[in-house]
């Protein structure tokens, strides 16, 4: 048995449709608040309310012309009024109607949104009021008619919409009640029926449309959350776990809500970790005393940064890292609930998921401590990129292994570690430099609150040079380039020094999940590079 593959037993994965799986077999008070607005906890959704709304939405979508396999784009976030607690309901409503749900970033310009509509072949659109003009422009450019467009409007009435754009609430105006959805319960149908199209991060190129089947999503929760019970917005309705959905992230409100609602589990990304470390409220241990466990995902987190947040948590609280992707239905490698880790490991593959490493020639790496590309195979791996044969050919090998594009290694005790994206590694004089290591050192500087490192090339020189972009704590009096270079040089080997320079910026560009958009930084880095010091 190879140490670097997952062979653990796992529970049987249900083969029923996602909506039936969510609503059937619950064993808690069905009037209990589950999806809750933390700014006004009297606004909540219970199991009974959710089930009734999902059934009505399914009927409403079908009456609007939705046919099985049609895609509905939802261009919304949590930041405008009512949608923050109803977003999961719309997701389930689309799936219940036999449709395919696709969510997008409400900050997109119309050309970006149009790209997502085109590659998913969406036929319906629901939009927040805030980005409505961009949404309508994208709909017009891609042929989605106004009668198949709805506004995700608010109760506050702060926005007015065009008279020919209906409220999403019109989809609920049907006499049919809960239970009215397309149901099935067989393995083949579950595997071949898509429930969602999620778009890849687009950190290295245009986003691709990753298809997730009913089976993928149910398997994710059966293997990751039923095995190691943890809350999640979809299975919260199944498990009865109260979930507070904020209007938008504000670190002070976030910390205050943790105390007010005695939140026990935190799911964060590196930018939120940094914000929490720098939040003065955490100097008072009362704010976080309810926390028992947390994890950080979406991008690698430096061990020192991880340790700094753990110091802010109560004694005995675990804070670990996880690894997951759009293409793995979310989590792929985790530390079991209740265990802790301070080494920077992302844990082990969830039960039922196989993992292996391959070198640049595609040969499997079987020794611990050797870096290679992480490849995964199992029931949670997506079914492929929608109508993108070339991307699928490049992403899967002949044995069905998905090539993640992430460089990783495993230790002698079978813990896994993510180094960085394969395309993000910086090659310096034959050495490979992982940007997260340099970023972690910079973040340990008392005057730095955020940092990103990329590789740059000087004209006529093949080698890359590490270059840092830094957000200073005091923007009026930031640390000098020389100070930051010297700070890092004292802590890392010479080939990891910042020979590409340091630039102070107001913010590091990131996508909604917290991943640094390094392609944007590379575009900026070409200006004046030849004049930078190489010391």
Residue extent(s) of CATH 3.40.50.12780 domains in the chain:
249-381+402-422
Residue extent(s) of CATH 3.30.300.30 domains in the chain:
426-531
Does residue 516 contact residue 299 with C-beta atoms inside 8 Å? yes
pTM of the model: 0.84
Residues in a beta bridge with 266: 294
pLDDT at 1: 37
pLDDT at 300: 82
pLDDT at 533: 43
pLDDT at 530: 45
**Fold category of 249-381+402-422 in CATH:** Rossmann fold (3.40.50)
pLDDT at 532: 47
Mind giving me the DSSP string for 317-332? -EEEE-EEEGGGTEEE
Residue extent(s) of CATH 3.40.50.980 domains in the chain:
46-220
Going by DSSP bridges, is the β-strand pair 243-244/209-213 parallel, antiparallel, or unpaired? Answer: unpaired
Q: Cα–Cα distance between 521 and 115 in angstroms, integer?
A: 22
Under DSSP, is residue 112 helix (H, G, I), strand (E, B) or coil? helix
The b-or-e profile of 329-363 (16+ CB within 10 A means b, else e) is bbbbbbbebeeebeebbbbbbbbbbbbbbbeeeee
Total length of the chain:
535
pLDDT at 8: 55
Going by DSSP bridges, is the β-strand pair 122-127/71-75 parallel, antiparallel, or unpaired? Answer: parallel
**Fold category of 426-531 in CATH:** GMP Synthetase; Chain A, domain 3 (3.30.300)
Phi, psi of 42 (to 5 degrees): -75, -15
pLDDT at 112: 87
For residue 87, which of 70, 100, 75 has the smallest C-alpha distance?
Answer: 75
Under DSSP, is residue 396 helix (H, G, I), strand (E, B) or coil? strand
Q: Cα–Cα distance between 475 and 92 in angstroms, integer?
A: 44
**Fold category of 46-220 in CATH:** Rossmann fold (3.40.50)
Residues in a beta bridge with 430: none
- Tens of pLDDT, residue by residue, the chain (535 residues): 354 555 456 678 999 999 999 999 788 999 999 999 999 999 999 999 999 999 999 999 999 999 999 999 999 987 545 557 899 999 999 999 999 999 998 888 898 899 999 999 999 999 999 899 999 999 999 999 999 999 998 655 555 667 789 999 999 987 765 557 999 999 999 999 999 999 986 555 678 999 999 999 999 988 887 666 555 556 788 888 899 998 888 999 999 999 999 999 899 988 899 899 999 999 999 999 999 999 999 888 889 999 999 999 999 999 999 999 999 999 999 998 878 999 999 999 999 999 999 998 999 999 999 999 999 999 999 999 999 999 999 999 999 999 999 999 999 999 999 988 888 888 887 777 889 889 999 999 999 999 999 999 887 666 789 999 999 999 999 999 999 999 999 999 888 999 999 999 999 998 877 788 888 898 887 655 544 444 3
Quick one: 460 exposed, middle or buried, by C-beta within 10 A (0-12, 13-18, 19+)? Answer: exposed
Q: Cα–Cα distance between 359 and 22 in angstroms, integer?
A: 40
Q: Cα–Cα distance between 232 and 54 in angstroms, integer?
A: 18
């Amino acid at each position: 048995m190879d140490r670097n593959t997952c062979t653990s037993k796992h529970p049987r994965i249900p083969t029923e449709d996602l909506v039936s799986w969510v609503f059937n077999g619950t064993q808690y008070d069905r009037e209990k608040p589950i999806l809750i607005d933390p700014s006004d906890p009297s606004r909540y959704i219970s199991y009974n309310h959710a089930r009734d709304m999902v059934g009505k939405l399914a009927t409403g979508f079908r009456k609007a012309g939705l046919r099985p396999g049609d895609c509905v784009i939802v261009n919304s976030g949590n930041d405008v009024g009512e949608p923050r607690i109803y977003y999961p309901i719309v997701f389930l409503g689309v799936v219940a109607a036999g449709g395919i749900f696709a969510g997008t970033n409400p900050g997109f310009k119309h050309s970006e949104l149009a790209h997502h509509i085109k590659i998913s072949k969406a036929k319906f659109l629901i939009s927040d009021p805030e980005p409505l003009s961009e949404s309508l422009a994208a709909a017009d450019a891609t042929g989605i008619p106004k009668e198949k467009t709805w506004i995700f409007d608010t109760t506050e009435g702060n926005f007015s919409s065009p008279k020919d754009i209906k409220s999403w609430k019109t989809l609920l105006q049907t006499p049919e009640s809960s239970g009215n959805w397309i149901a099935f319960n067989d393995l083949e149908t579950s595997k071949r029926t898509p429930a969602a199209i999620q778009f890849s991060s687009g950190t290295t190129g245009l986003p691709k449309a990753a298809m997730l089947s009913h089976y993928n999503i149910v398997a994710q929760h059966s293997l990751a959350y039923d095995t190691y019970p943890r809350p999640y917005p979809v299975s919260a309705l199944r498990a009865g776990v109260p979930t507070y959905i904020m209007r938008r992230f504000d670190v002070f409100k976030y910390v205050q809500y943790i105390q007010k609602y005695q939140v026990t589990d935190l799911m964060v990304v590196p930018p939120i970790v940094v914000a929490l470390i720098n939040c003065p409220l955490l100097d008072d241990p009362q704010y976080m005393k309810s926390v028992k466990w947390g994890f950080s995902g979406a991008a690698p987190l430096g061990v020192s940064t991880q340790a700094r947040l753990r110091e802010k948590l109560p004694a005995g609280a675990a804070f670990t890292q996880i690894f997951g992707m759009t293409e793995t239905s979310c989590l792929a490698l985790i530390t079991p609930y209740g265990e802790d880790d301070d080494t920077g490991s992302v844990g082990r593959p969830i039960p039922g998921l196989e993992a292996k490493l391959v070198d640049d020639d595609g040969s499997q790496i079987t020794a611990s401590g050797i870096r290679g590309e992480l490849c995964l195979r199992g029931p949670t791996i997506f079914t492929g990129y929608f109508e993108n044969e070339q991307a699928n050919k490049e992403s899967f090998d002949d044995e069905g292994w998905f090539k993640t594009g992430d460089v990783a290694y495993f230790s002698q005790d079978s813990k896994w570690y993510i180094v960085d994206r394969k395309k993000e590694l910086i090659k310096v004089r034959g050495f490979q430099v992982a940007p997260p290591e340099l970023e972690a050192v910079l973040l340990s500087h008392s005057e730095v609150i955020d940092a990103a490192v990329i590789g740059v090339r000087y004209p006529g020189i093949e080698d890359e040079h590490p270059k840092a972009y830094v957000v200073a704590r005091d923007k009026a009096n930031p640390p000098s380039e020389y100070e930051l270079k010297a700070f890092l040089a004292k802590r890392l080997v010479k080939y990891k020094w910042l020979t590409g320079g340091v630039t102070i910026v107001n913010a590091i560009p990131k996508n909604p999940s917290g991943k640094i958009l390094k392609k944007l930084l590379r575009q900026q880095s070409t200006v004046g590079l030849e004049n930078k010091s190489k010391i």
